[in-house]
Amino acid sequence: MNSKANNSGSKNSKLDSSVIVRVILGYEEYWRLMLILLMNGVLAATCYFVYASAAYQSQSLVRVNSFIVANDAAQGLPDGDRTYRQLRALSDQLMSGYLVLEAAKKIGIADSKTTYDYLRETTLRVCRVTMLDQSHLEILIVSLSPDVVRDMPKALVEVFEEVRLKMRDEYRQQAIQRYAQEINEVRKKVTEQLDNKLKFEEQSALASAQIEMERLSNIPVDIVRTKYRLKEHEEISAVLAQQGNALDVVGKLSLVSNFTDSEKDPLEAGRVVRKAGGAAPFTFSSPSTDKKVTQLVVQPNMVDGLKPWQELEKNKRALEEKIRFARLKFLDGHPEVQKLVEELKQVEAGLEIELKVALSAFELEKDRLAEKVQELETKLPEYHKSTKTFDVKKQDYDLLEKSQLAWDKAYEKLSQRVESLEFDSDSSSLTLEFRGFTNLRDGVPISPNKSKLLMLGCLLGVGLAGGVPFLLKRFDSSVVELNEFEGTLGINGIGLVPLSDPKVLEQLNRSPTIGSTVPNALLENFRLIRSSILLNKSPKGDGRVIMITSARPSEGKTTVSSNISWAFSSLGERTLLIDCDLRRGRVHQVVDASNAVGMTDLLTGRASLDDCIQKAAADNLWTISRGAVVPGTTELLNSGVFAAIIEELKSKFDRIILDTPPVLGLSETAFLQHHADGIVVIVRCGHTLRKDVEDAVQSLKKLGGHFYGFVLNGVDFTKRANHYYYYYYSSSYYDSNWDEPQKKVI
């Protein structure tokens, strides 16, 4: 068993054909159901074919003759766009319920009381119009009547022409009257808006407000620029104050001249500036202000020389170079050297004069800038007022203009609509021409289709035959395979018992006495279980006391317990089988023993141990039956009385087999497992639920139980899947490999 489990549990990269065969054979038990489902699918298709109504079909071609419309030509709309929109609109109109009903009335399959839904449900199943190209439509009709598929397409085209012309004439007359009234109203509105616009322009003086705003628009920018210049003047003054001693005349001139030269409005001679505080020549009081300020007329000697200092600085550097070369030739007292030094002094004196002039202009520039800022700030309120006035008037004017444009557009659209109705009043932009059928099936119905129904019926049957058994097998939670359940349960499978006649299984332990013939394969199954128990040593003892149990009743544990007892007795061991199921125990029936006295009598003290032990039919096999059912005796299994009995029996027997009640729902098994060296769980194939076995094993494991393994009972070898997988357990295997007949069971 272990080698088999290892082989099945190994993971190979190649596909194992035996696994495929097992899966296929696993569905053998459902072959009757699969056949019934397959036939039901075919039967459903046959019933549909017999009882379904026959449907006929026609496909017809309609040519669309399109003509240019005056309104589209005036707008310059491309012919391709116009044709595409027309065909889309035609398709929708031809499929509308109104036109379909009118066409049905024309061919006599509907009357004034017939509704579109009723027509679709009873006679006309499909009416579809599709575009083939820019000049052709296709009409598809599916009906239960062959006359309808022949007559409906042409009637639909004729009704479309009649209804459209009638509705167009009615609409045209109503629309022209309505649009004429609206045009008159719009014309009045346009004239009224134009008068309001002209009147507003006259009263609001919008042009004067705009001119005034533009005149004052540079005031904010000039204020920012002037303040920036003042800030720059302060920074230069700070540099001169901090580094005045460190800078030479040229450095100071560079700072001051750079500031005055970069001004866009330079200080010119003859200009009057106001100087706050201090006295200066040519001052006079201003009668227009109460402020006491000093006004200064800019003199030429104050501003002239802003540029010549650069020429002086250039001459100074030239003289310094000449003096350096002269001193290489002459002494300092030489006339040539003294002449150059004197010229240098004159140039430096000129630079000093230029510096004074530049500083004077620098200070005057500051006063001019301050005066300019003050003057501009006084004009700011006037600027804001003019801007606000212009914005309000401009907003009102824009509203009037937008209103004027809206009425102009409305008038233009209404005029175009009236022109379109006038030009297109006598002829349509397109006509429909019925060109005949491209496909007409009014003799042989398109539905139901025999071959298609047969194929669908077979597919339905195959789907049901494969799907339903798969779901049944998928949701079957019973235990069916020994090796598969080993990994789930966590304990070893130590053997299996074929599905056999219960009488044959019960006769196995006493067959030598009654002279019955038991299949050798059945005998070997219990010998294999015995060997697995002997090879699995128990950590709790020497393995003399073995407990046989199951998760639920009717798992076959009593029959298996008696036959395992026979298997140990056949080795020559003195074996005792004890019925510990004090409620429903039936060991006495299986081993053909008396139930007059038994375990209940032994536990209650009404009988001695020697009175309860009975010799079974097989050699070396004894048994203690259940005895009469006495309420409360199950509690004694967890008492010292039962423990003393087991200890005494160990001295008399080599092997003790305990046939116990099921684990789930009863408490005796939990007590008895403490007296056993190991546990064997009986699982009925295809009957016991996986969860029940797992719960039973987990319950006993928590109490410290040791498991020899589980036995899969009732394996049906008539199923090909079980025979294929457990072929060496079947009787045919032993019949072909066991030449000597087994007359005596040993």
CATH code of the domain in which 437 resides: 3.30.70.1130
Residue 367 is predicted with a pLDDT of: 82
Residue 402 lies in a domain: no
Q: What mean pLDDT do residues 120-143 have?
A: 88
Query: In what side-by-side order are the strands of the sheet with 136-143?
Result: 124-133, 136-143, 56-66, 430-441
Amino acid (1-letter code) at residue 331: L
Specify whether 551 is located in the same domain as 682.
yes
**Above 90 in pLDDT, residue 624?**
yes
Report pLDDT for 29. 61
- Measured CA distances, 392 to 173, 199, 500 (Å): 47, 16, 110
Residue 423 is assigned to a structural domain of this protein: no
What is the total count of domains within the chain? Answer: 3
Task: Give Cβ neighbours of residue 125 (< 8 Å, ≥ 6 apart).
Answer: 55, 142, 143, 144
Q: Check whether 53 has a pLDDT greater than 70.
A: yes
Based on the domain organization, do 592 and 700 belong to the same domain? yes
Least confident of 355-369, 559-573, 635-649: 355-369
Q: What is the 3-state secondary structure (H, E, C) of 217-237?
A: CCHHHHHHHHHHHHHHHHHHH
Residue 646 counted as domain residue: yes
Give the CATH number of the domain where residue 544 resides. 3.40.50.300
pLDDT value for 514 = 47
Whether residue 270 sits in one domain with residue 149:
no
Can you give the pLDDT at residue 657? 93
Tell which wins on pLDDT, 110 or 446.
110
Q: Determine the average pLDDT of the residues in 500-527.
A: 68
More confident residue, 183 or 286: 183
Q: Would 387 be classed as within a structural domain?
A: no
DSSP state at residue 508: G
For residues 155 and 230, membership in a common domain is answered with: no
Q: Per-residue pLDDT averaged across 720-746, rounded?
A: 47
Residue 575 has pLDDT above 90, yes or no: yes
Within a domain: residue 450?
Answer: no
Averaged over 238-255, what is the pLDDT?
78
pLDDT value at 622 more than 90 = yes
- Closest by CA to 339, choosing from 360, 322, 315, 352, is 322
User: 């379904």: which residue's tokens?
Assistant: 52
More confidently predicted of 208 and 314 = 314
**Structural domain contains residue 720:** yes
Which of 7-11, 99-103, 263-267 is most confident?
99-103
Range among 107-111, 206-210, 368-372, 689-693 rated most confident: 107-111
Question: Residue 469 phi/psi, 5° resolution?
Answer: -60, -35
What percent of the chain is predicted at pLDDT more than 70?
72
* Judgement on whether residues 140 and 60 belong to the same structural domain of the protein: yes
- DSSP states along 243-312: STTTS-HHHHHHHHHHHHHT-SS---TT-EEEESSS--SS----TT-SS--EEEEPPHHHHTTTTHHHHH
Question: Mapping DSSP to helix (H, G, I), strand (E, B) and coil, where does residue 741 land?
Answer: coil
Token match 């061919």: residue? 107
> Residue 434, SS3?
strand
Structure confidence by residue, pLDDT tens digits, 66-81: 765 555 555 555 554 5
Pair (277, 142) in one structural domain: no
- Confidence at residue 138, expressed as pLDDT on a 0 to 100 scale: 92
Tokens representing residue 43 in the block: 């039967």
Q: How far is CA 201 from the centre of its chain?
A: 63
More confident of the two residues 707 and 503: 707
Confidence label for 211 from pLDDT (cuts 50, 70 and 90) = confident
Interatomic CA distance for residues 698 and 490, integer angstroms = 10
Average pLDDT across the chain, whole number: 75
Q: Are residues 227 and 283 in the same domain?
A: yes
pLDDT number for residue 360: 83
Same domain, 171 and 232: no
Choosing from 378, 394, 419, the residue where a domain stops is: 378
pLDDT at 413 over 50: yes
- What is the pLDDT at residue 61? 93
- For residues 445 and 734, which has the higher predicted lDDT (pLDDT)? 445
Give the C-alpha separation, 645 to 657, whole Å.
14
626 and 731 assigned to the same domain: yes
Summarize pLDDT for 665-676 with one digit per residue, the tens: 777 788 888 888
Residue 492 scores a pLDDT above 70: yes
Q: Given a cut of 80, is residue 183 above it in pLDDT?
A: no
Q: What's the confidence (pLDDT) of residue 153?
A: 92
- Residue 718's pLDDT is 67
* Reported confidence tier of residue 684, pLDDT bands at 50, 70, 90: confident
φ, ψ (nearest 5 deg) of residue 60: -125, 160
> Is 188 domain-assigned?
no
- The phi, psi pair for 126, rounded to 5°, reads -135, 135
What pLDDT is attached to residue 547? 92
263: number of Cβ within 10 Å: 14
Of 657 and 419, which is predicted with more confidence?
657
270: confidence class by pLDDT, cuts 50, 70, 90: very low
In a domain, 326, yes or no: yes
Listed range (40-54, 192-206, 404-418, 502-516) with the worst mean pLDDT:
502-516
Q: Extract the tokens encoding 46.
A: 């046959």
**279 or 32: whose pLDDT is higher?**
32
Are residues 519 and 655 located together in one domain of the fold? Answer: yes
Average pLDDT value for residue range 706-732: 67
Residue 297 has pLDDT above 50, yes or no: no
Q: Which of 36-40, 393-397, 569-573, 624-628 has the lowest mean pLDDT?
A: 393-397
Residues 157 and 250 in one domain: no
- Distance, in Å, from the CA atom of 138 to the CA atom of 723, rounded to the nearest integer, reads 65
Q: pLDDT grade, residue 250 (50/70/90)?
A: confident
Average pLDDT on 420-432 reads: 60
- Cα distances from 538 to residues 196, 533, 541, 544, in angstroms, run 115, 9, 6, 10
Asked whether the predicted pLDDT for residue 517 surpasses 60, the reply is: no
CA angle 548/549/553 to nearest 5° reads 140
Same domain, 151 and 235: no
**Domain enclosing residue 712, as ranges:** 492-737
